[in-house]
Structure 1
Amino acid sequence: MWLDTGAASRTGEASGDPLWWWPHGDYYDGRSLTEVDVAATGPASPVPPGPARLPAPGEYYASPAPAGLIRDTPAGQPGDRFPGRFAGAIGDAALPSPDSLIAVIGRTPDAVKGAPTARTVTSIATARPPTCDNACWDRGVRDDAMMLVLSVVAGALIFPVLVFIGTATRLSAATREQRYAAMRLVGATPRQVSLVAAVESALAAAAGTPAGFALYAALRPRVAAVPLTGQRFFLSDLTLGVPQALVHAGTGGTGGGPAGPGPDAPALVACADLARTPMVGRCPAGAGVAAVDRYAFLGLESHPDWQWPAAGVGPDAVNRLPVQPVYVATDGSTPTMERVRRLLTVAYPHRQARTVGDFGTDLQQQLAGWRQLADVVLLTTLPIAGCSLAVSVVAGLSDRRRPFAILSLAGAPLRLLQTVVGLESALPLLEVSAAAIGTAFAASEMFLTSQMHYDLVLPDAAYCLLVSGGLAAALGIIGSTLPRLGRMTGPEAARNG
């Protein structure tokens, strides 16, 4: 939350010396970094959580992840972007994740106040601002979004568990009824029968609750390592308190520079400069200056066949204008691009140098988190669903034990009965699976087209293998219950029902 200190919607004020605050983003090899440049105006300026003190000009504090990155990568790549010396590590209490790439950099007030979104603050944010804007840099999932995610996950996990409990209860109901009836016949009172049933349930719960907590303790380190929200969790984030426990027990271009004089005005590019970077288009023959569409030009898309219209000004007039985006062609290798990024960052400290791949980094991290979440839900629910399927088939066989026994006595071979049971179990499974897959593709297509303006790409072979493997496992579970049919269709079943 402290990273949102610069949000304009914050109203918290405190007495003390103002602190110049400028959060901004950076990238390294497809990973996003958050940097906060700070400059104290007096000894009473607020100190953000994590650093032991405010870094002086020429010092910086960094979380363990970027500190290790700076230490392990060659000089001239990420390290030179952080001026001065490393003053210390940012503590875990100030980090949303062990993977967080955060640095607090000490500057002079004159160096920070020229940044486009820099502002002075007198207190550090301890709560999320009412509204978030480009000054919010907390990469964590917002409370409402996290509640939605947890609600969906809880529903996806609880529903199959409830189905499993219901089918297991139905399977054992007939046996319990016969046992309780036998107890009544030998003289047990209704109260005694109820007491026996309550004790059985209590013993099962007493044995299952510690087993559940033991399983939680064993799996907690593994779950913490799963980046459900795009980054790993601290182990302490998955710690249950006493109230919770009680509840549970119950390729290569780099761009940088300022925007233009106006959002709708075309940008002017000297044709001599454009010729040195052919991947962003070309000038008409004989033209000295091209007028380019600023949004298409800033998109960092390779379009060498585009021809920009000529502008009615000369190269000398263009050279007197402020510098617009700077394009640098590289060989696409990570060391080269990061060295270029470092040079641009030093030359334009208040601007962001980005490669083509950086524009998709944040989205890819978010999508990777959703994929991890979906994988966890699938891996958790599939075993439960498989057990529920097996119990459901066995319960169905138990309910129709007498009809199957009569058919067997009438001459129906066991293989025919097994075929009937297999078909009536497998066909609905395949029909529902086909309908679910079709509905999922249709919903994905509508969402991607209407909300994100993407085209749906057919899944690769891994998806087909996963679906085929799941269906094969489900059919195998159905097949594993069929041998029980021979033991349930004896003559005694036809007599007793």
Structure 2
Amino acid sequence: MIALGLRLSLSGGREALVRLVLTAVAVAIGVGLLLVTLAGINAVGTQNDRYAWLQTGAGSPPAATAADPMWWMVTADHFDGELIGRVDLAVTGPDSPALPGIASPPGPGEIYASPAMAELLAAAPAEQLGDRYDGRLVGIIGDEALPGPDSLVVMIGHEAGELSASGRAQQIQAVSTVSPADCSSCAPGIGINAAGTALVLSVVAAALVLPVLIFIGSATRLSAARREQRFAAMRLVGATPGQVRTVSVVESVVASTLGVLLGFGIFALVRPALAQISFTGTRFFLADLALSAVDVVGVVVGVPLAAAVVARLALRRVTISPLGVSRRVTPAPPSAFRLIPLALGIGELAYFGIVGRPGSTNGQVLAYLPGILMVMIGLVVAGPWLTMVGSRLIARRTSRPAVLIAGRRLADDPRAGFRAVSGLILALFVGTTAVAIVSTFTGERGAPPVGSAAAGTLAMSFTEVRQVDGPPTTVPASLLADLAAVPGVDGALVLRESPSDARNALDLAGSDSYVDCAGLAQVSALGRCADGAEVALISFEETSDRSDVVWPAAPLSAADLYALAPVRLVVGTDGTLAAVEQARTIINRAYPGAPRGPTTGGEGHAQSTREMEQYQLLATVVVAISLVVAGCSLAVSVAGGLSDRRRPFSLLRLSGVPLAMLRRVVALEAAVPLLIGALVAIGAGLLTAQLFLRSQLDYSLHAPGGAYYVAVVLGLAGALALIGSTFPLLARITGPEAARNE
């Protein structure tokens, strides 16, 4: 029977060949997407591990492995909005710890840089970047020490006595192997948290798997009715149920095996392009997008095995009785109990909206992922019942023949009607949820407008500066003069400490600093003083443009102001790259011990929204892929349904029914469940987003922008166009010869 199954699969005529090719293509797309997701998860973990050496000195120190300790200091720097990982080090002997990516640590006055950093140092004017690092470039850091090809990393060698006097450098005897995902006090601003990214990728995988499975299922059901008739005929001539199952399994395994091979080919083709996408803020090395042996074996064995199981389940009616195919009856209508999974998924998300989110990232994954998956499954399970209810209402309220035929047929078998559009419904749910979350996050944490004063204002907190004698008590006048002399710098302002009783006296609980009104007039992003004021009490927020705020006068003189400790240095610029980076270089040279260099309002916002930008990028990819897969699933389902009904449609045409009416019937049979499901999916998506936002971020849902509604309309129009693309097939398969050949 295995040989017969192979023969029927490979030499069973045009219909068998079309079914084999379509099934193999569907499996190939599904396998390709699955491999891409697995490789992406592996790449994120690999990239995260290569940040580990930059966490040296943070958290628990690694076990000592070197005889001579090394002085070590890590700083987060910036250039043109890009993060730079700066490592200052000094060896104390020949047996200092070995560092990844270089043969030996840099000596005093020597610099190692990543390839991207070396290119940046060569391209940028020295006063904007190179002057921050004393020394000469002597080597390039290898890939094994870099998270990605775009990583900006620089190592600077010092004398041991010089670096030890910085106040923040530490002595280390081994390089850290703990990634940011497992580090409780990692280097500020450097690295990604793979555990947080796991939440994103888990949702991505869940969002991709169901549409892909629906697509594969639609392809395997292509010409299902005709296959069942063929297998029933085999039973009538003496084939046993086991023999029929064997033939069916062989056909499915052959198609799925070809699909698996094609899927690996698709993965190989898209892998270079995938490496160029900055899912985590930097691109992947191509080698990072690798598959483990477990991944390969699981896909190679699991996919054909799953196809064999589906094939056996699909033939349960034939194996019970060979007459089961010809003696078809109307299936039992779906009941309202199908709404239970959808209600359970929404209830699970609502529960965490009431009690609050779990504390750990893994706990959040376990909390939200089952609820989102349950909602997606609930939409698929509830879809036939909703289709049945909607089609019965339509059939009762129409007198048009096409609408009546379509409504009665959908009411008779709503499962088949909804199955064709279920992939698009899931894609619409995923897209709605993603867009609603991103829109709300953007609305709650709006970036400074491009060109605003806040976007080009540099600020550095002195509370993070550590020197031998503690935080600085004065800001040199020479530093302020150097900053003021930079072209494009409007002025430099020192914010000074304000006692809490002063804030309370002025009823400004959010304010935190005294400022000189003469200096404030030069930094427009921070606002202005009241008329006649000499000193003001202001509230500083890095990402906010407060140029229109008038601050109240403070009850102290300018002489008293300069006796207070400085808490922040703010530099107003015109926002040009030259002005911002030259001023940053001057500040970095004045305070090299700051763990975080000065940042602009735009950079501060970019750091706070980095994780959501990853969500947005991944959501865009998921929605695009889901729509493509769902569109293919819809086209295959409609074409398969037409093939199964070629004889009834042919008889209708012979009896005088116009071809245009049959086209309207086909269009309505797909459009009705599509529109009903779309309304439910949009509502479920908005509700899921609201519950997630409320429990995770304590935000209220913001309505998506106009682009979302345009995308929904275009998506639905595209789906209807796919339905229309099957009309030529309807004309070909419903001629008189089709009825005669049956």
What band does the TM-score fall into relative to the shorter chain?
0.7 to 0.9
Any conservation in 1 of the 2:498–2:513 contact (CA below 8 Å)?
no
Other-structure match for 2:192: 140
Deviation of 1:2 after TM superposition, in Å, equals 1.2
Distance 1:445 1:184, change over 3 A: closer
Following superposition of structure 1 onto structure 2, how do residues 49-448 of structure 1 map, counting pairs within 5 Å? 49-113=100-164, 118-128=169-179, 130-135=182-187, 138-142=190-194, 144-184=195-235, 193-250=244-301, 251=453, 252-259=456-463, 266-292=512-538, 296-299=539-542, 301-351=544-594, 352-398=597-643, 404=649, 407-408=652-653, 410-444=655-689
User: What is the distance in 2 between the residues matched to 1:342 and 1:454?
Assistant: 41
Any conservation in 1 of the 2:66–2:97 contact (CA below 8 Å)?
no
Structure 1 stretch displaced more, 173-182 or 76-85: 173-182
Aligned residue type for 1:132: S
User: What is the distance in 2 between the residues matched to 1:90 and 1:110?
Assistant: 25
Deviation of 1:430 after TM superposition, in Å, equals 2.5
User: What is the distance in 1 between the residues matched to 2:736 and 2:238?
Assistant: 30
User: What is the distance in 2 between the residues matched to 1:149 and 1:458?
Assistant: 20
Deviation of 1:402 after TM superposition, in Å, equals 5.7
User: What is the distance in 2 between the residues matched to 1:439 and 1:116?
Assistant: 55
Aligned residue type for 1:272: A
TM-score by length of 2: 0.60
Any conservation in 2 of the 1:231–1:369 contact (CA below 8 Å)?
no
Structure 1 stretch displaced more, 451-460 or 410-419: 451-460
Distance 1:180 1:79, change over 3 A: same
Aligned residue type for 1:273: G
User: What is the distance in 1 between the residues matched to 2:168 and 2:685?
Assistant: 42
Any conservation in 2 of the 1:4–1:137 contact (CA below 8 Å)?
no
Distance 1:337 1:446, change over 3 A: farther
Any conservation in 1 of the 2:87–2:156 contact (CA below 8 Å)?
yes
Distance 1:459 1:53, change over 3 A: farther
Aligned residue type for 1:387: C
User: What is the distance in 1 between the residues matched to 2:698 and 2:137?
Assistant: 41
Distance 1:326 1:123, change over 3 A: same
Aligned residue type for 1:370: Y
Deviation of 1:218 after TM superposition, in Å, equals 1.6
* Stretches of structure 2 lacking an aligned partner (at least 5 in a row): 1-51, 302-452, 464-495, 504-511
SS in 2 for 1:297: coil
Aligned residue type for 2:521: A
Any conservation in 1 of the 2:542–2:600 contact (CA below 8 Å)?
no
Distance 1:174 1:438, change over 3 A: closer
SS in 1 for 2:100: coil
Deviations 1:342-384 (A, max 9, x none): 1111122223221221112224543433333223223322222
User: What is the distance in 2 between the residues matched to 1:75 and 1:460?
Assistant: 45
The total of aligned residue pairs comes to 492
Any conservation in 1 of the 2:62–2:174 contact (CA below 8 Å)?
no
Deviation of 1:390 after TM superposition, in Å, equals 1.7
Deviation of 1:123 after TM superposition, in Å, equals 1.5
Deviation of 1:243 after TM superposition, in Å, equals 3.9
Any conservation in 2 of the 1:61–1:103 contact (CA below 8 Å)?
yes
User: What is the distance in 2 between the residues matched to 1:169 and 1:117?
Assistant: 64
User: What is the distance in 2 between the residues matched to 1:108 and 1:304?
Assistant: 45
SS in 1 for 2:88: strand
Other-structure match for 2:326: none
Deviation of 1:70 after TM superposition, in Å, equals 0.9
Distance 1:490 1:302, change over 3 A: closer
User: What is the distance in 1 between the residues matched to 2:576 and 2:216?
Assistant: 55
User: What is the distance in 2 between the residues matched to 1:466 and 1:79?
Assistant: 46
Deviation of 1:412 after TM superposition, in Å, equals 3.3
Distance 1:33 1:448, change over 3 A: farther
Matched, 1:39 2:90: yes
SS in 2 for 1:299: coil
